[in-house]
């Protein structure tokens, strides 16, 4: 089924109708009128306009509640969003429906962000076009994309991203929008993952929470009052460079003692490899011999096999992350902390250390009701969150890039 | 001039009119219609209702812009708010007009929060009544109050406040409201000081900023998108208990190594007194001998007289505060940091250390445009902020205690 170009919401009332239906499913006109505090005539007029814009459609009769029958309002069945998550060595793409349910996924086995924006984006565009063609989508309503580095959200481009050579100041948003003929928004990977968790993950009911990604590096998405908080310069959540010791390993940022220099995928690989080479772990040495390098996944398997060094590395790292988070809990008093990213695959060994440090070092008032949990969405958090990012814009009136 | 009871705003449009005029002064009906995106007829109707409610009045003709003459809308000239700031050993009260300009102040020389809520509040009520009577105010439109400890904002009462024995769970908001017959809101001192700086201080144009109070203890008010962020349990900003060293002095909270155990008024008095007793500073010893105790003000005077120990204590403290703030800058990326509270009287010696630690330890992107400044309001920040807190509620529709 070919889908014609969708418009964007034109009024706050239209925006609220679309958002309610996206987040809760089809709602009756009667329900919507009550929730919005407007007349059924107003709802009918706004829904009529949304149908013309290709955003909403009639969802059939609502279950009777004894009074006048009402009709359900649903999102247009042909509405499609695209979510893209670029990692240091990964590319994931998903096509979703209007409620951000994933209809199809694609990924590349050997992505490398260091190949630069032209080549990486050309590949992303090709893969997206292929996926849309398979799904019979002529033009999606919008596309969201997350990248592993700081982003100037308003300009739609990366800003001095440490692990993305060649991407500094590249107009990612506008280039993709021009090529694919659809509205595009760009954000960093942690922010889109936080949005994904908010949309379908563990953070659904949390109004203020932190999403902590422990991947190659460490970063944090901050949600305040259900909205992403990006900070005055768009770099809020950069917790990988919080200094935890005055001395310590040199960090990629040039400082000493940053959290990321002690823990995260890159530091863990470094420490596990030196333990293997120094003869401190037979299991890790065997894995290094076999695969030529060590990753968080190796550490996880070594822990399962009872390796004491792998266990210790994980515990030390978890304690350090937990100590930083304990301070942020005192400052920010979040209602929930979600741990995700590749290193989160170390699972409950890591989680137990992080929790223990937080609960030991923060005040009881802030930790009394504070769940610290692993991400539920795993690999889909980024693409669903990227689709959510652009859907928020398409479902709202005004200039969405502000 | 006796003032009759004011009502509260009933609609979002009324609320926006009142807030614009409070923050910018009298505005023409034409201006208001343009800003609110509504017709002049709607503005006229809403202003008419605000006049009936005793909240607004005719402000005379607007300066002509060549077209039809418009009339200015002003706040009711008889509108009065009360702001109260209770400190550990201080009580400040102010009566303001509708735009929160301070009309009259009162304070007590020998307040002591440890005397418990009945005696302290009775004194506050008596002083407030006296001040209102002097100003000819029969009943103020509302009263805001800040206290030096954690507050359950929704319940309107302190929660386990460490330096306020007897106040835990005491219904401060409702008791004051009943006695004075006016809407009351209670918050902690740092939050109301942040609001004060936002209203008339250095933070007027900052959308996201931190107000750091260094008094007897250390705390932080967090403003996000121009609104106070209180956290999931209302205890956001509790940075005095961020742990900066694994060992270190025992803190009032029972943990070791908290920021507040190293610095703040109480720690500074302790360290200065032991330096004086240990013979490390003749000047401090002389002051201790003369006054029987040492405070931040003594340290300030000792610095002016060239005392090396006093200077060192201030620098060590500033560096520690700065190190904690550097981490919060990486996490929160504020647009401004304001330093206030009694110890901030140490002024530029303290400020220079704090700035230096922040600029050295945070990433350039987050500190490139980050002013770190001393509070401009000084003693008025708390009372103006408390008045602002209740004015926000009076100028908004709905249940203001939610």
Q: Please give the backbone phi and psi of residue A55, each rounded to the nearest 5 degrees, phi first.
A: -105, -30
Question: E strand or H helix at A323, and its extent?
Answer: helix A308-332
- Are the Cβ atoms of B333 and A234 closer than 8 angstroms? yes
Instruction: Tell me the pLDDT tens digit for each residue of B42-94.
Output: 899 999 999 999 999 988 888 776 666 788 999 999 999 999 999 888 899 99
Rounded to a whole number, what is the largest CA-CA distance in chain B? Answer: 78
Report ipTM (2 d.p.): 0.88
pLDDT (0 to 100) of residue A402: 56
Mutate to test the interface with A, among B246, B363, B368 (most CBs of A within 10 A): B363
Phi, psi of B213, deg, nearest 5: -100, 125
Contact A57, A76 (CB under 8 A): yes
Are A333 and B231 in contact (CB < 8 Å)?
yes
Mean pLDDT of chain B: 90
- Residue A17 pLDDT class (50, 70, 90 cuts): very high
Residues A325-363 have pLDDT tens digits of: 999 999 999 999 999 988 888 888 999 999 999 998 887
Phi, psi dihedrals of residue A220, rounded to the nearest 5°: -145, 130
Domains and CATH numbers, chain B: 12-75 (1.10.10.10), 80-196+381-394 (3.30.420.40), 204-375 (3.30.420.40)
pLDDT, tens digit, 9 for 90 and up, residues B254-293? 788 899 999 988 899 999 999 999 999 999 999 999 999 9
The gap from C-alpha A113 to its chain's centroid, in whole angstroms, comes to 18
The residues of B whose Cβ lies within 8 A of any Cβ of A are 150, 159-160, 207-208, 220, 222, 224-225, 229-239, 241-243, 253, 255, 323-324, 326-328, 330-336, 361-363, 365-366, 368-370
Which residues of chain B neighbour A207 with C-beta distances below 8 Å? 232
In this complex, which of B331, B363, B369 lies closest to A328 when CB atoms are compared? B331
Share of chain A above pLDDT 70, in %: 96
pLDDT class of A246 with cuts at 50, 70, 90: confident
> Of B332, B301, B339, B290, whose CA–CA distance to B318 is shortest?
B339
Structure letter (DSSP) for residue B62: P
List chain A residues with CB under 8 Å of B241: 330, 362-363
Name the residue among A234, A331, A368 with its Cβ closest to that of B328.
Answer: A331
For an interface test with B, the pick among A203, A218, A235, A331 (most B C-beta atoms closer than 10 Å) comes out as A331
Between A138 and B103, the more confident residue is: B103
Q: Mean pLDDT check: name the lowest of A35-39, B20-24, B230-234, B327-331.
A: A35-39
Q: Do A231 and B208 touch (CB under 8 A)?
A: yes
Quick one: closest CA in B to A371, which residue? B232
Question: Considering only A104-118, A239-253, B109-123, which range has the smallest mean pLDDT?
Answer: A239-253
Distance of alpha carbon B137 from alpha carbon B52, whole angstroms: 19
DSSP letter, residue B330: H
SS3 content of chain B, % helix, strand, coil (to 5): 45, 20, 35
Query: CA-nearest residue of chain B to A206?
Result: B232
B2, pLDDT greater than 50: no
Please provide the DSSP assignment of B96-144 as one string.
EETT--EEEEEEETT--GGG-HHHHHHHHHHHHHHHHHHTT-SS-SEEE
Inter-chain residue contact A231 with B361, CB threshold 8 Å: no
d(CA B125, CA A349): 56
For residue A163, give both structure tokens: 């692990």
Give the tens place of pLDDT for each residue, B337-348: 999 988 888 888
Residue A223 has pLDDT above 60, yes or no: yes
Q: Which residues contact A293 (CB under 8 A, 6 or more apart)?
A: A269, A273
Q: What is the pLDDT of residues B7-22, one digit of tens each?
A: 788 888 899 999 999 9
DSSP three-state, residue A72: strand
Q: Please enumerate, as own/partner, the contacts of B256-261 that have beta carbons within 8 Å and a separation of 24 or more.
A: B259/B218, B259/B320, B259/B321, B259/B324, B260/B217, B260/B218
Cβ distance A331 to B332 less than 8 Å, yes or no, reads yes
Which is more confidently placed, B162 or B197? B197
What's the token pair of residue A201?
Answer: 């993950």
Q: Give the minimum alpha-carbon distance from B67 to chain A in angstroms, rounded to a whole number.
A: 30
Task: Write the CA distances from B44 to B47, B58, B99, B396, integer angstroms.
Answer: 5, 11, 21, 18
């Amino acid at each position: 089924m070919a889908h014609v170009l969708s418009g964007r919401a034109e009024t706050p009332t239209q925006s609220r109708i679309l958002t309610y239906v996206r987040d809760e499913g089809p709602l009756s006109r009667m329900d919507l009128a009550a929730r919005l505090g407007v007349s059924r005539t107003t709802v009918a007029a706004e829904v009529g306009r949304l149908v013309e814009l290709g955003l909403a459609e009639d969802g059939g009769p609502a279950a009777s509640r004894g009074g006048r029958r009402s009709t359900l309002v649903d999102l247009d069945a042909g509405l499609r969003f695209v979510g893209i998550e670029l990692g240091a060595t990964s590319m994931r793409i998903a096509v979703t429906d209007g409620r951000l349910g994933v209809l199809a996924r694609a990924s590349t086995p050997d992505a490398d962000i260091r190949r630069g924006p032209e080549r990486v984006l050309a590949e992303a565009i090709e893969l997206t076009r292929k996926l849309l063609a398979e799904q019979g989508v002529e033009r999606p309503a919008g596309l969201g994309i997350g990248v592993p580095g700081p982003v100037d959200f308003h300009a739609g481009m990366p800003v001095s991203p440490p692990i993305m050579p060649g991407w500094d100041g590249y107009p990612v948003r506008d280039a993709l929008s021009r090529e694919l003929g659809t509205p595009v928004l760009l954000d960093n990977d942690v922010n889109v993952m936080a949005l994904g968790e908010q949309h379908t993950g563990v953070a659904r009911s949390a109004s203020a929470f932190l999403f902590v990604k422990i991947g190659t590096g460490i970063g944090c998405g901050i949600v305040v009052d259900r909205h992403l908080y990006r900070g005055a310069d768009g770099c809020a959540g950069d917790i990988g460079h919080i200094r935890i010791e005055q001395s310590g390993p040199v960090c990629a940022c040039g400082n000493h003692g940053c959290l990321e220099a002690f823990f995260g995928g890159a530091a863990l690989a470094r420490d596990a490899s030196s333990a293997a080479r120094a003869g401190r772990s037979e299991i890790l040495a065997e894995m290094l011999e076999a695969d030529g390098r060590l990753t968080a996944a190796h550490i996880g398997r070594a822990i399962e096999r009872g390796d004491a060094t792998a266990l210790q590395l994980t515990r030390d790292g978890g304690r350090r992350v937990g100590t930083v988070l304990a301070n942020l809990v005192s400052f920010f008093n979040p209602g929930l902390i979600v741990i995700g990213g590749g290193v989160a695959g170390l699972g409950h060994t890591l989680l137990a250390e992080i929790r223990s440090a937080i609960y030991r070092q923060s005040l009881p008032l802030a930790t009394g009701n504070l769940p610290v949990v692993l991400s539920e969405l795993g690999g889909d958090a980024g693409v669903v969150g990227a689709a959510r990012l652009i859907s928020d814009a398409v479902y709202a009136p005004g200039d969405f890039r502000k």
